[in-house]
Amino acid sequence: MPLAALDGAGLSPADPRRPEGRVWRGTLTDGREVAIKLAARPDQPQETATAQDRLALEAQVLAQVRPRGAPVPELIAAEPGVLLTEWCAGATLDDWSQCLSSTARRAPVAAAGRGLLRLEAAFAQLPGAAAAVERRRPAWLAARRREFCTAREVAQRFIDQRPAPGGQERTVAEEWEALWAVVAASRLTLGPLDVNARNVLLEHYASSGGRRGWRATFLDMGAIGPDNPARRLVHYTFALGAWQPAGQCVRGLTPAVERRWSCAAAAQWPSEPELYVQQLDAYALLAELLLLGQVQAVLAGKRPDLAAAWSAPAERWRQVARIVRRPLAGHGAAHTIRRVLAASDRLYSVV
Ligand SMILES: Nc1ncnc2c1ncn2[C@@H]1O[C@H](COP(=O)(O)OP(=O)(O)OP(=O)(O)O)[C@@H](O)[C@H]1O
Ligand SMILES: [Mg+2]
């Protein structure tokens, strides 16, 4: 379908709170609502070749994975620098996380988890998926090692501030090694690399029979590569509330959602559910410590880029510190490290 079918009137920013974004909401002359994604942003008018390539790749990926059952928007048209997809109802998981109570959040987060498994299953069917993952495994592992070391340094700063008696430090060192073993042994799959709670839409629907439920749609397929499914889930379900005046950091995963997803994952990639429980807690802890480090940098005036997007950093600090103290798994390396960090109110000591 040519872009000429786009009704010029009534174009609006996809996210009215961010008019500088590159995604627009529009209507085709046949009345269908569409999302129009441009390679360039109004504030960065220079369309780079990379941005165009990413858009072309996104079109290809959508066309290939949707027929294989992936919950992604339907591709309508693609031309150099422009991508047209169906407009999907709902709000991002990040937005839902800002307004729902922790109890009400459980259902959309669980729906995101189920949607992710369908997304993973569709990507796994792409020709050459397994080989593409293997080729990039060393680079993936090196990137995780760097993150792991940074997260460990963040944690160590708290421990050093309030050393505990009784050789607790030695125990923690062993637990860090165990945590790294969980990461290093992770199964990798082909899928999206831009994983965050703004890239998953959740629609609260009612069927014709009156049954209510949540439906997830995943956005932003312009960067594809290897990652671990549990790590993807952790990042898709952690809201940051960026660019919002009262935006909060919210972890969507709870032990109950984690257990159910782990059972479903163990059915999709046969193994023990406990393996996925351990991976989720490990990746969640690493993500939370990295975030804590970033909030600390904002508070110290060292990250003006993040400061612009994150309101009330001191409040964010308290939110993330509270999250770090709450384990997802009932035992294991991440569980122990969280317990040590929670001891003596260590996480409350540095603001
Ligand atoms: N098909 C769609 N249906 C409904 N909303 C959409 C659709 N595509 C994008 N959006 C909205 O536009 C926002 C940005 O879309 P997308 O993530 O694809 O672009 P982006 O430029 O990578 O943005 P960001 O940098 O915020 O991730 C989404 O968070 C969502 O709110
Ligand atoms: Mg996005």
Classify residue 281 as exposed, middle or buried by CB count within 10 Å of its CB (0-12, 13-18, 19+).
buried
Give me the amino acid identity at 47: E
Q: Are residues 137 and 51 in the same domain?
A: no
Q: Are residues 143 and 66 in the same domain?
A: no
| 299 alpha-carbon distance from chain centroid | 24
Q: Are residues 142 and 216 in the same domain?
A: yes
CA-CA distances (angstroms) from residue 221 to 56, 224, 265? 10, 7, 22
Using CA atoms, how far apart are residues 26 and 8, in angstroms rounded to an integer?
8
Do the beta carbons of residue 90 and residue 215 sit within 8 Å?
Answer: yes
C-alpha of residue 199 to centroid of ligand 1, in Å:
6
Q: Which of 86, 111, 127 is the last residue of a domain?
A: 86
Q: Are residues 55 and 158 in the same domain?
A: no
Q: Are residues 75 and 98 in the same domain?
A: no
Q: Are residues 154 and 294 in the same domain?
A: yes
Nearest CA to ligand 1 atom 29: 198
What is the best residue among 220, 221, 224, 236 to mutate for testing ligand 1's pocket, by most ligand atoms within 8 Å of CB?
A: 220
Using CA atoms, how far apart are residues 336 and 185, in angstroms rounded to an integer?
19
Q: Compute how many other C-beta atoms are within 10 angstroms of the C-beta atom of residue 298.
A: 20
Using CA atoms, how far apart are residues 197 and 207, in angstroms rounded to an integer?
25
Q: Where are the alpha helices (DSSP H) in 209-299?
A: 229-236, 255-268, 273-299
The domain tally of the chain equals 2
Do the beta carbons of residue 86 and residue 32 sit within 8 Å?
Answer: yes
Give the number of the atom of ligand 1 that is nearest the alpha carbon of residue 88: 3
Nearest CA to ligand 1 atom 14: 23
- Among all ligands shown, which has an atom nearest to the Cα of 90? 1
- Assigned token pair, 109: 């987060």
Give the number of the atom of ligand 1 that is nearest the alpha carbon of residue 194: 27
Q: Which of 32, 62, 86 is the last residue of a domain?
A: 86
For the domain that residue 276 is a member of, what is the CATH number?
3.90.1200
C-alpha of residue 200 to centroid of ligand 1, in Å:
9
Using CA atoms, how far apart are residues 189 and 168, in angstroms rounded to an integer?
36
Place of tokens 């998981």: 93
Q: Which of 86, 109, 143 is the last residue of a domain?
A: 86
- Among all ligands shown, which has an atom nearest to the Cα of 21? 1
Residue 1's pLDDT is what? Answer: 52
Q: Are residues 177 and 276 in the same domain?
A: yes
C-alpha of residue 201 to centroid of ligand 1, in Å:
9
Q: Exposed e or buried b for every residue in 103-129, given b needs 16+ CB within 10 A?
A: eebbbbbbbbbbbbbbbbebbbebeeb
For the domain that residue 47 is a member of, what is the CATH number?
3.30.200.20
Long-range contacts, 46-52 (Cβ 8 Å, 24+): 47/81, 51/81, 52/80, 52/81
What is the best residue among 98, 219, 224, 235 to mutate for testing ligand 1's pocket, by most ligand atoms within 8 Å of CB?
A: 219
Q: Are residues 305 and 169 in the same domain?
A: yes
C-alpha of residue 273 to centroid of ligand 2, in Å:
30
- Among all ligands shown, which has an atom nearest to the Cα of 58? 1
Q: Are residues 82 and 96 in the same domain?
A: no
- Which residue range is the domain that position 138 belongs to? 91-348
Residues with CB under 6 Å of ligand 1 are 14-15, 21-23, 35, 37, 73, 85, 87-88, 92, 198-199, 201, 219-220
Rounded to the nearest 10°, the torsion over CA 43, 46, 48, 52 is 70
Q: Strand, coil or helix: what is 149?
A: helix
Q: Are residues 80 and 188 in the same domain?
A: no
Q: Are residues 61 and 139 in the same domain?
A: no
Mean pLDDT per 10-residue segment, the chain (351 residues): 65 85 92 92 63 92 98 96 96 97 97 98 97 96 98 90 67 92 97 98 93 96 97 98 94 98 98 97 98 96 95 95 95 94 66 40
Using CA atoms, how far apart are residues 114 and 302, in angstroms rounded to an integer?
38
C-alpha of residue 23 to centroid of ligand 2, in Å:
9
Q: Are residues 276 and 301 in the same domain?
A: yes
